Structure 1
Amino acid sequence: MRTQPLRTIAGKEFCDHIKSRRFHLIFGILLIIAIVSLASGMAQYQKELEIYNEAYGSVSDEALAHMPAGMTPTPLTGFNQMAYFIGSLGAVMGIAMGFDLVTREKESKSLKMLLSHPVYRDEVINGKALGGAAAIFLVMGIVLVISFAVLLVFGVVPNFEETVRVLIFGGLSFLMIFSFFILALFFSTVAKDSGSALVSTLILFITLSAVTTLVISGPGITFLIGEPPERPESPEFTFSVSTDSPGMGSSTSIVPGDSARAFDLEEYEEKMEDYRRESRAYQERRMAITDTFTILSPDQNYQRLAFAVNEPGFEAIWQNPGEGPPIDPATEPKDGLGILSGLLGALSQRIVALFVFPAAFFGLAWVRFAREDIR
């Protein structure tokens, strides 16, 4: 494949995107929402920081050193709200950028004229993808620069590890928007006109998001795996206060109720052990179903990965509920980036899925475009 035609086509597509009014409108809305959500998150962070300082101001430095990193307020909390809006509006941006890339040129007959020149079809489809990727990269670059500016306005200077996590957040956001751009590009190669391509892309996007949200909700999980196990009934005890003698005070004793008198403590412990085991198994099944369905939806998968980047301490607890973070307490890192690196194994499937989704649909679009009979 020649590089000069590829650069020419990619440059032309990039210029078309950044000059598009549709692109300007969606990007403007995305930028405003990102600034407002981050500013709101920073205001909440400052409140949490004040509460934290009041609560732990008298705690020794040695005790603070042993406190998990997830327990301390972080300025990256504001990016969680931003991730929610990018997950929805960013998907719309990607779809709006890609749904008519091929169909528009089919309808105007310009694609046939382009292919009549000494240019290969793979150069055309690759150039369109690269041009869109460059425009999305520019969008996320501007969003990140303004995000750092908002942090500085609130008097927060991110350290090295926080800066790296913000950049990782930007990379995840780029992949999510690019995934829906490639999805729209695929339907643009399959559909006969731009309207059909847009409708098909939106239907798939809404279906993935709606089905995922429905399944991972409380009623959806209950429908699939049933009700959670019931906790065994505990015995009833009552308190009685007796006076030993005048002026000598009183003593308190615990008197078993009717249910406790006929209660077998060993049997209760066995039931509690069975309950804990069944609860762990239930939570594992619940997490497996949630992870499976959110992985299939790029926006839901992105929001979960973004939460892990912004709140790695809480993500570690989420991965192992009731068992502590999957990191040895003796060697537990105290910075978010260290905890995040310890979570790579648990998040590997999600990371791979975020790359596989656009790669798979781009492969389908490439094959379809290469074999299509353009008249």
Structure 2
Amino acid sequence: MNQPSRKKRERRNAGWVWLFFLCLLLPLHLWFPELGTGAMDDSYSSSASGKKAFYLLLETETFGAERNRVPLNVLIQSLDYDETLCLLGPARYPSPLEWASLLAWVEEGGRLVIAANHEHPEFEIVPLDIRVSYLDETERENIPRAKSEKMNEARLSFSQNEVHGLLESQATTVFSDAPSIIWETNAQVESPTGETLISAGETKQAVKLRHGIGEIVVAASSELFSNQSMVDGGSVPAYRLIEAAGAADYVVVDEALNASGTSKVVALLIDPTFRPLTIQLLITLLIFGWWRSTRFGPILSSHILPRHNIVSHTDNVGNLHYKKGNGRFLLYAYVKQLFTQLHLRNFRGEEHRVIDPIARRMKKDPQQIKSFLKQAAKHTKSEKIDRHQMGDLIRQLSEIRQAAQPGHSKD
């Protein structure tokens, strides 16, 4: 059995490579890796630091939960006073103008929960005299440590070595069903008034304040709402912290601050809004590349051109000269080739040494053949020769050519 050629084997292997990459792209509709410069800990993220699990919990436990992606000033105009707005570890904190809109909405009865982002937890609400700041060295040492599991000891020791790294502390709460929890923090809430909901040692970690007829809950860390915290049993205290602002019937989780607080130079095409379109474009480009680089099916017979031989070439040249109607060029080429073959230039003045043997074989007068050759050479210099005349001259020249070969004679 004949083995396939190397080129065919390479073509077959290349087809498997294209199919492999196509199979990698198709599952991206269901699962997409965390890439880009956007926030990796928002409510869309399934990573350990993301908050997707908590958002799904809100959808289950409340009458309604939704994400917001419009600017806060626009959102406030559509929020009802029985809804709870959650800012859970935003990539940026509200601007002074946005704070003014938020506080005005809370004063009229709205409920706000804001948890600091551990990467930059410092922010301040000036009208309420409340701020979140980093723990100093003394406060970090006095916070009671949580008994971490062995699998978390390496991460804990690494965090403790950082100046503002997260600490796993044993915190106390006012919630009856979760009086003690593991609280990861690197900051504290400073507020002369307000009710302390969660504390770690002597530091306040979550505080509730009343503003007008609304409520505001400020937390020093958003790690309690992460997917990892939901796995470790933090779902109950996280939900109770949302309830502390009021009955959590309708909850809005803000993503506008995450979207506007992160660079979109690279992450725009893999943003959740445009991600399906990006995947479809990649699949289309992949299929187009596969189609252009691989031959599907047998080669079309119409694309195989027959190989031309010398006879076909001669026929084509003759047809071109026939259509042109001028045989001078063909006659010139034939006379030149014949004179070269007879070596007439080498016998100038003694042409009879070449012509006499030819005349003897043709049984003609040598002077007659010499006159005919002169006439044929003269015709090659004329502007145009009729093709019939050219045919007669070449026919007679061919007889001379045959007679010039030894062993040929005209019978």
How does the TM-score come out when normalised to structure 2? 0.21
Task: Tell which structure's C-alpha radius of gyration is larger.
Answer: 2
Of Structure 1 and Structure 2, the greater helix share is in: 1
Of Structure 1 and Structure 2, the greater strand share is in: 2
The structure whose RCO (Cα within 8 Å, separation 6+) is larger is: 1
